[in-house]
Copies of this chain bind each other. A is one copy, B any other.
Amino acid sequence: MKMMKGANRWRRQVPFILLTNGGGVTEEAKAHELSRELGVKIMPNQVVLSHSPMQSLVDKYRHRHVLVIGGAERRCAEVAQHYGFEKVTIPDDIVAWNPSAWPFTSVRDYARPEYNYSQEPIDAMMVLHDSRDWARDLQIMTDVLQSRHRVVGRADWGQPAQIVPVYFSNPDFQWSNEYPTPRFAQGAFRLTLELLHRQLTGGNELKYRLFGKPHTATYEFALTTLDDQARVLDPAHTGFRRFYAVGDNPESDIMGANNHGWHSIAVRTGIFQHPDQVAHRAELQPKDIVEDVEEAVNLILEKELAM
């Protein structure tokens, strides 16, 4: 939720984005889904998914071999290809090439084993969504990390230093669904990869880069997206006066907003329920607390009208 410069403009339209640590589909597919669910037309450029800022990696890896982890079937590979990555492999492709790579996983009909993976170095590993098979994906990722040739399925392990970059799209440790208690999210998978990497290397720390809230790459990407929207509404747009961020997750929504100078508003519809939950850490404390998103919007309008 953003307020444009110029007192009257927000009466007509306020640039806003839906900024989520979810993903696993294209921005187009998510906008379509949200439009249907909310009964409000949401454009693809109003949706920022956890992996949306990873488009900044396309320049570097467009023609290189990337291993994409997470999501249902081939969907994250399709997201990556849609972004512009041209040489994408998923773990299912490797298991289809050699089922003994992870014998507890069956070969899927959506697998496309296009290479001899023991000869085809992997240039980067990108976790775009929750892994659907932790053990298999952890095994294949550590195989690549341990390989002197950045491959899998070759007895060339013992790589002393990490030579393959690893990117994660979502730092959240847990997420909430309709179940009464939170479920493990991509952050739990990442901690597990770090643990197993230490075990296999005698204590080396995994190096990686995080996208998604509360990280800066995501807020920079969000700002660019909002500026683009604002320039359509007002070609003279040069910047925003205030940013409001509404969210339920203290570790991502509230901390991200606080750290980037956005006015944080916590809703009680998810993880955040009570200020006691965040009493011990200043960076997790919201500027305002409301029940739900509708209340948050009304609060923002009140605040802006009073200025």
Contacts and interface: CB of A to CB of B under 8 A. Distances in A.
Interface of A: 98, 100-104, 118, 130-135, 138-139, 143, 146, 153-155, 157, 173, 177-181, 183-184, 188-189, 191-192, 195-196, 199
A95 B191 CA distance: 24
A180 B196 contact: no
B139 A184 contact: yes
A164 to B, nearest CB: 16
Contacts of A104: 130, 132
A150 to B, nearest CB: 14
A3 B154 CA distance: 41
Copies of this chain assembled into the complex: 2
Nearest to A147: B181
A265 to B, nearest CB: 24
B179 A101 contact: yes
A131 B139 CA distance: 14
Contacts of A181: 143, 146, 153-155, 157
B192 A139 contact: no
B180 A153 contact: yes
A69 B68 CA distance: 29
B179 A98 contact: yes
A90 to B, nearest CB: 15
A209 B245 CA distance: 47
B195 A199 contact: no
Given A134-B134, A153-B181, 8 more contacts: A100-B178, A103-B177, A133-B134, A134-B138, A138-B184, A157-B181, A188-B196, A195-B195
